[in-house]
Amino acid sequence: MKKIVLFFLLTSSFSLFSQTDIVDYLEGRKFQNSRTGLIVSYGYISHLNTSGMTFRNSYGDKFYFMNCSIEKSSDERFAIFTDCMNVETGGGVGKIVAYRNKLVIIASDGEMVYELIN
């Protein structure tokens, strides 16, 4: 009986995890590219009063991208961020495909993978 209850609890917790809104899940999480050391996070940017992507390099410099269009998969397994605008230059960052354990940034010159670090 204990095994049945334990199995039910485990499967329902996995089910709950998979059904959590992907964008809410990404809020505050940090992802790092192992080659460049660049860290990317999604969340509320208080001084801009909006949500967006924050990029931080190894020197601690931060670059903000906001006004992203977000499209979520129907099963909440991933979200696609497009048209994110750099606050300072007005430029973009490419397409960002966000999973629960990694981000993939796709630009005209290739793609980079960022792994979850927290």
Cβ atoms 33, 112 nearer than 8 A: yes
- CA within 13 Å, CB half, 105: 19
Q: Please give the pLDDT value at position 118.
A: 80
Token pair recorded at residue 51: 């949500």
Asked whether the predicted pLDDT for residue 76 surpasses 70, the reply is yes
% of residues, the chain, pLDDT over 70: 84
Question: pTM, whole model, 2 decimals?
Answer: 0.80
Q: What does the angle CA 39 – CA 115 – CA 41 come to, to the nearest 5 degrees?
A: 40
- State the SS3 of 36-67: CCCEEEEEEEHHHCEEEEEEECCCCCEEEEEC
